[in-house]
Amino acid sequence: MSYARQMLDTYPRTLNVDVGMLAAAIDALSDCAQACNADNAADLGEPDVTEMARCIRLCLDCVDVCTATAGVISRQVEYDAGLTRPLLEACVAICRSCGDECERHAHMQHCRVCAEACRRCERACRELLDALK
Amino acid sequence: MSYARQMLDTYPRTLNVDVGMLAAAIDALSDCAQACNADNAADLGEPDVTEMARCIRLCLDCVDVCTATAGVISRQVEYDAGLTRPLLEACVAICRSCGDECERHAHMQHCRVCAEACRRCERACRELLDALK
Amino acid sequence: MSYARQMLDTYPRTLNVDVGMLAAAIDALSDCAQACNADNAADLGEPDVTEMARCIRLCLDCVDVCTATAGVISRQVEYDAGLTRPLLEACVAICRSCGDECERHAHMQHCRVCAEACRRCERACRELLDALK
Amino acid sequence: MSYARQMLDTYPRTLNVDVGMLAAAIDALSDCAQACNADNAADLGEPDVTEMARCIRLCLDCVDVCTATAGVISRQVEYDAGLTRPLLEACVAICRSCGDECERHAHMQHCRVCAEACRRCERACRELLDALK
Task: Give pLDDT tens digits for B88-121.
Answer: 999 999 999 999 999 999 999 999 999 999 999 9
Does the pLDDT of residue A62 top 70, yes or no?
A: yes
Does the pLDDT of residue B7 top 90, yes or no?
A: no
Does the pLDDT of residue C133 top 90, yes or no?
A: no
> Which chain C residues are within 8 Å of D54, Cβ to Cβ?
78
Across the interface, whether the CB atoms of D60 and A57 are under 8 A apart is answered no
For residue B60, which amino acid is it?
L
**Alpha carbon distance D56, D102 (integer Å):** 10
CA dihedral over A95, A98, A104, A110, signed as positive or negative = negative
ipTM of the complex: 0.94
> Which chain A residues are within 8 Å of D44, Cβ to Cβ?
53, 56-57
> Which chain D residues are within 8 Å of B6, Cβ to Cβ?
113
Across the interface, whether the CB atoms of C72 and D87 are under 8 A apart is answered no
Local structure of residue B78 (DSSP, 8 states): S
Nearest to C55 by CA among C91, C94, C93: C94
Q: Give the pLDDT of residue C16.
A: 74
DSSP secondary structure letters along chain D: --HHHHHHTTS--S--S-HHHHHHHHHHHHHHHHHHHHHHHHHHTSS-SGGGHHHHHHHHHHHHHHHHHHHHHHT-SS--HHHHHHHHHHHHHHHHHHHHHHHHTTTSHHHHHHHHHHHHHHHHHHHHHHHH-
Lowest mean pLDDT among A113-117, B29-33, C10-14, D112-116: C10-14
Lowest mean pLDDT among A8-17, A19-28, B55-64: A8-17
Q: How far from A38 is each of A116, A117, C131, CA to CA, in Å?
A: 13, 11, 21
**Alpha carbon distance C9, C4 (integer Å):** 9
Cβ-count burial D83-114 (b if 16+ within 10 Å, e if not): bbbbbbbbbbbbbbbbbebbeebeebebbbbb
Does the pLDDT of residue A133 top 90, yes or no?
A: no
Q: How far from A83 is each of A9, B128, C34, C43, CA to CA, in Å?
A: 23, 18, 20, 22
Does the pLDDT of residue C122 top 90, yes or no?
A: yes
From the list A61, A67, A71, which residue is nearest B83 (CB)?
A61
B79 SS3 class? coil
pLDDT in tens, A32-56: 999 999 999 999 999 999 999 999 9
> Which chain D residues are within 8 Å of C60, Cβ to Cβ?
71, 75
- Residues in chain B, total: 133
Q: How far from B101 is each of A73, B44, B125, D31, CA to CA, in Å?
A: 19, 15, 19, 27
Q: Give the pLDDT of residue D15.
A: 64
Q: Give the pLDDT of residue D124.
A: 98
Backbone phi, psi, residue B74, to 5°: -65, -30
Cβ contacts of C133 within 8 Å, gap of 6 or more: none
Can you give the three-state secondary structure of C70-89, one letter per residue?
Answer: HHHHHCCCCCCHHHHHHHHH
Lowest mean pLDDT among C29-38, D5-14, D29-38: D5-14
The percent of residues above 70 in pLDDT, for chain C, comes to: 97
The percent of residues above 70 in pLDDT, for chain D, comes to: 97
Local structure of residue C9 (DSSP, 8 states): T
Binned at pLDDT 50, 70 and 90, residue D41 comes out as very high
The predicted model gives D86-104 an average pLDDT of 98
**Alpha carbon distance B111, D26 (integer Å):** 19
Does the pLDDT of residue D12 top 70, yes or no?
A: no
Q: How far from D7 is each of A118, B108, D28, D35, D74, CA to CA, in Å?
A: 39, 11, 16, 23, 9
A86 SS3 class? helix
B69 SS3 class? helix
From the list C3, C40, C109, which residue is nearest A38 (CB)?
C3
Q: Give the pLDDT of residue C13.
A: 64
Higher pLDDT, D7 or D127: D127
CA atoms within 13 A on the CB side of B125: 32
Binned at pLDDT 50, 70 and 90, residue A12 comes out as low
Binned at pLDDT 50, 70 and 90, residue C15 comes out as low
Say what the pTM is. 0.96
Instruction: For chain A, give the mean pLDDT.
Output: 92
Across the interface, whether the CB atoms of D64 and C64 are under 8 A apart is answered no
Q: Give the pLDDT of residue A15.
A: 64
The predicted model gives D17-43 an average pLDDT of 94
Q: Give the pLDDT of residue D1.
A: 82
The percent of residues above 70 in pLDDT, for chain B, comes to: 97
Instruction: For chain D, give the mean pLDDT.
Output: 92
